[in-house]
A and B are shown apart, each in its own frame.
Chain A
Amino acid sequence: EAGVVQSPRYKIIEKKQPVAFWCNPISGHNTLYWYLQNLGQGPELLIRYENEEAVDDSQLPKDRFSAERLKGVDSTLKIQPAELGDSAVYLCASSSDGPNTEAFFGQGTRLTVV
């Protein structure tokens, strides 16, 4: 079984440019998370999907960040425009239905804004 797949692995962009990250969760996993991880810190939730519905986006900076999960499978996270402070690792995770189920993480996308 393939794990959570993210692309790209690395991205370097200039500030004020747009950037997009893609995530393909484990097949059959209806719950999808986007987390942000700064260096030396724990992952922080940006948005959580149940199927195609964003059920928790309270920590998503909506002025510049957007996400979508069309058809309840793949998801895209976008930043426009990017700022220097957005440099971090963006992790996608997925889990199966029901409470207290293991969240499986992708390799992450390391974003550097210069």
Chain B
Amino acid sequence: GENVEQHPSTLSVQEGDSAVIKCTYSDSASNYFPWYKQELGKRPQLIIDIRSNVGEKKDQRIAVTLNKTAKHFSLHITETQPEDSAVYFCAAQIGNEKLTFGTGTRLTIIP
């Protein structure tokens, strides 16, 4: 089955700097790659997603890139703010099958 690896497990950046989180997946049939943000004690919430027919997608300060050949995708957050502190999960999906999640990255924004 699909295997998703996520790095780093923890990341601390100064407020205003950029943060990058990387994920790799194993099944080349995966065609949907969402990113979820989970604040402490709360539910995971979708922040951005990308489909395999697109190489990059941007939404204000958040962007995701996808390299299908290398089977990796990344989340980029620019001009980080304290409210960006949370755990971020990447995931991969084939069609409408299950979402396979990475192990998460705990992002801390240092004021």
Does chain B have a CB within 8 A of A91? Answer: yes
Contacts of A44 in B (CB 8 A): 101
Q: Which residues of A contact B6 (CB under 8 A)?
A: 42
Interface size on A, residues (CB 8 A): 26
The segment from A17-25, A67-75, A98-106 that touches chain B is A98-106
**Does A85 make an interface contact (CB < 8 A)?**
no
Interface residues of chain A: helix, strand, loop or mixed (majority): loop
Tell me whether B98 and A101 are in contact (CB under 8 A): no
Flag if A99 contacts B96 (CB, 8 Å): yes
Chain B residues within an 8 Å CB radius of A56: 97-98
Contact A98 B49 (CB under 8 A): no
Which B residues are closer than 8 A to A by beta carbons?
4, 6, 31-32, 34, 36, 42-46, 49, 51, 89, 91, 93, 95-104
Interface residues of A (CB under 8 A from B): 4, 31, 33, 40-45, 48, 50, 56, 91, 95, 97-108
In the assembled complex, 8 residue pairs joining A and B whose CB atoms fall closer than 8 Å, in A order, are A42-B102, A56-B97, A91-B44, A100-B31, A100-B51, A102-B46, A104-B46, A105-B44
